[in-house]
Chains A and B, each alone.
Chain A
Amino acid sequence: MNREIVVTGVGAVTPLGVGARTLYERWKAGESGIEDGQGAATDFDPTEHLTVKQVRRADRFSQFAMVASDEALEEAGWKDELPYEADRVATLIGTGIGGIGTLEANHKVLLDKGPKAVSPLSIPLLMGNSASAAVSMRHGLRGHSFATLSACAAGAHAIGTAARMIQTGDADAVVTGGSEAALTPLATAAFAALDALSDKGISRPFDAERDGFVMGEGAAVLVLEDGERARKRGANILATLAGYGASSDSYHLTAPEKDGGGAIEAMKQALHDAGYGPQDVVYVNAHGTSTPLNDRAETVAIKKVLGDGVPVSSLKSSIGHLLGAAGAVEAVATILALRDRVAPPTLNYEHPDEGLDLDYVPNEARELDINGKKAVALSNAFGFGGHNAVLCLEVA
């Protein structure tokens, strides 16, 4: 990257609770946010964080994003005053589906009571950009704002695109991340119809008995700043977004290519962008969905780019698949893990699968033995449609 991009604040709402540290610490401890086959953000009560009006004006996915953004901005030291001109701060929150809960509820109203009963708030709440809008309005951010929409790569795409906005000079800082609240009857039934979900309700990435993903919900938000400006204002720097890569499989609407496909190119690009080689990577936060196809193809891709010596683990083993939020939540968890010099575990890993022979950090967190090297990691996110986005994160 031609200009250094730093992370100065992180926030999260996940099935492990409200808070980025809660997410990381609980994952590291091997705890699971999955109950009854779903990763619901059960600790999240919007009324604890938002006014009645704010709750009514936001779909659950926007509520998650707002609360995660509060945490991130507070950590960045932005709570009382923005350190930049408001029109130099962009907002970019990705989502896979947007406000599908609002859509489903109002479709039911339409069928049951007719068109006149449909809420005037339906569209403003369900539109995929509404989380970005809510975050922008909440904090008075007046720069570029829109959403990235690329299924399960949306959060990572948002973060990567946010970095590019700073690098091209369109913004001095970006509040970015991903959000999803799709534990709804339609979304659940539709993923089940695709045979994408685990029948057993167990998320066990890379395990021989993996049988699909477990749906989760939540959000993560990061404050990205131009490194020079952040240092000048004396910001506490959590991590550097050293590189970003993105590609398309151009292959199949839902399946990855068996030989690793576009994921390889995205990982290579992220490394190249960061100016690092395979030997510099000390940890990979895998997309690791627990589907038979992803975990095999991703293993192939990681081996082709990095070889087979690097520890690889999947947060989805603890919280399920947060779809459009996944890339952002995983980036936040990766940053905190790198700061702690720890590779968090892949939970529920018991049975090695033939050909899936990487070091998946089974069941217990492990210290990263990096002998004073910089802690550099890749965080992978791949989406239906063949969208691939990879972040290279670094902690000095």
Chain B
Amino acid sequence: MAATVTPEAVEKTVVEALPQFGVDESQISRDATFEALDVDSLDLAELSQIIEDEYGVQLKGDDVGKIKTVGDAIDLVVSRAG
């Protein structure tokens, strides 16, 4: 069963996932841009996989291309689940 999607839960998932990709944990916030965090398309592909595995929410390439910040990613997942 996929976990229930809440903004808090998704934020926790994202914040826990990013350091695995080498992102400095202290730099992560909702407003931080992926560019500033040095999170690129391959990292986002991995993040999408983690999100889908946990919440059953699929993020397509077009969606991922539009998101700029950590907050964008969280909001997108929450909106898709709704």
Report A's interface with B, CB cutoff 8 A: 51-54, 56-57, 116-117, 119-121, 124
Interface contacts beyond A120-B46, A120-B49: sample of 6 additional A-B pairs, CB < 8 Å, sorted by A: A53-B21, A53-B38, A56-B21, A57-B42, A116-B53, A119-B46
Given contacts A116-B49, A117-B53, contact A52 B42 (CB under 8 A): no
A121 lies within 8 A of B46 (CB): yes
- Please name all residues of chain A whose beta carbon is closer than 8 Å to the beta carbon of B22 when the two chains form the complex: 51-54, 56
Interface residues of B in 26-75 (CB under 8 A from A): 38, 42, 45-46, 49, 52-53
Range class of the B interface residue count? 10 to 19
- Please name all residues of chain B whose beta carbon is closer than 8 Å to the beta carbon of A54 when the two chains form the complex: 22
- Please name all residues of chain A whose beta carbon is closer than 8 Å to the beta carbon of B45 when the two chains form the complex: 120
A121 to B22, CA, bound (A): 15
Distance (whole angstroms) from the CB of B43 to the closest CB of chain A: 8
- Please name all residues of chain B whose beta carbon is closer than 8 Å to the beta carbon of A53 when the two chains form the complex: 21-22, 38
A52 to B53, CA, bound (A): 23
Question: Can you list 19 A-B pairs with a CB-CB distance of less than 8 A?
Answer: A51-B22, A52-B21, A53-B38, A54-B22, A56-B20, A56-B21, A56-B22, A57-B42, A116-B49, A116-B52, A116-B53, A117-B53, A119-B46, A119-B49, A120-B45, A120-B46, A121-B42, A121-B46, A124-B42
A56 to B47, CA, bound (A): 14
A117 to B49, CA, bound (A): 7
Interface centre among B22, B49, B53 (most CB of A within 10 A): B22
A119 to B42, CA, bound (A): 10
A209 to B79, CA, bound (A): 69
* Chain A to chain B: the 9 pairs with minimum beta-carbon distance, closest first: A53-B22, A52-B22, A120-B45, A51-B22, A120-B46, A121-B42, A120-B42, A53-B21, A56-B22
A392 to B51, CA, bound (A): 55
A119 to B45, CA, bound (A): 9
- Please name all residues of chain B whose beta carbon is closer than 8 Å to the beta carbon of A120 when the two chains form the complex: 42, 45-46, 49
A124 to B38, CA, bound (A): 18
Distance (whole angstroms) from the CB of A112 to the closest CB of chain B: 13
- Please name all residues of chain A whose beta carbon is closer than 8 Å to the beta carbon of B38 when the two chains form the complex: 53
A53 to B20, CA, bound (A): 8
Distance (whole angstroms) from the CB of A125 to the closest CB of chain B: 10
A116 to B53, CA, bound (A): 8
Interface centre among A57, A116, A119, A120 (most CB of B within 10 A): A120
A117 to B54, CA, bound (A): 11
A124 to B53, CA, bound (A): 22
- Please name all residues of chain A whose beta carbon is closer than 8 Å to the beta carbon of B53 when the two chains form the complex: 116-117
- Please name all residues of chain B whose beta carbon is closer than 8 Å to the beta carbon of A52 when the two chains form the complex: 21-22
- Please name all residues of chain B whose beta carbon is closer than 8 Å to the beta carbon of A56 when the two chains form the complex: 20-22
Of all chain B residues, which has the CB nearest A57? B42
Distance (whole angstroms) from the CB of B47 to the closest CB of chain A: 10
A51 to B24, CA, bound (A): 11
- Please name all residues of chain B whose beta carbon is closer than 8 Å to the beta carbon of A121 when the two chains form the complex: 42, 46
Of all chain B residues, which has the CB nearest A53? B22
- Please name all residues of chain A whose beta carbon is closer than 8 Å to the beta carbon of B20 when the two chains form the complex: 56
Of all chain B residues, which has the CB nearest A121? B42
A56 to B18, CA, bound (A): 13
A124 to B42, CA, bound (A): 10
Distance (whole angstroms) from the CB of A148 to the closest CB of chain B: 26
A52 to B38, CA, bound (A): 12
Distance (whole angstroms) from the CB of A115 to the closest CB of chain B: 11
A117 to B42, CA, bound (A): 15
Distance (whole angstroms) from the CB of B16 to the closest CB of chain A: 15
A68 to B53, CA, bound (A): 37
Distance (whole angstroms) from the CB of B82 to the closest CB of chain A: 22
- Please name all residues of chain B whose beta carbon is closer than 8 Å to the beta carbon of A57 when the two chains form the complex: 42
Distance (whole angstroms) from the CB of B77 to the closest CB of chain A: 16
Distance (whole angstroms) from the CB of A58 to the closest CB of chain B: 12
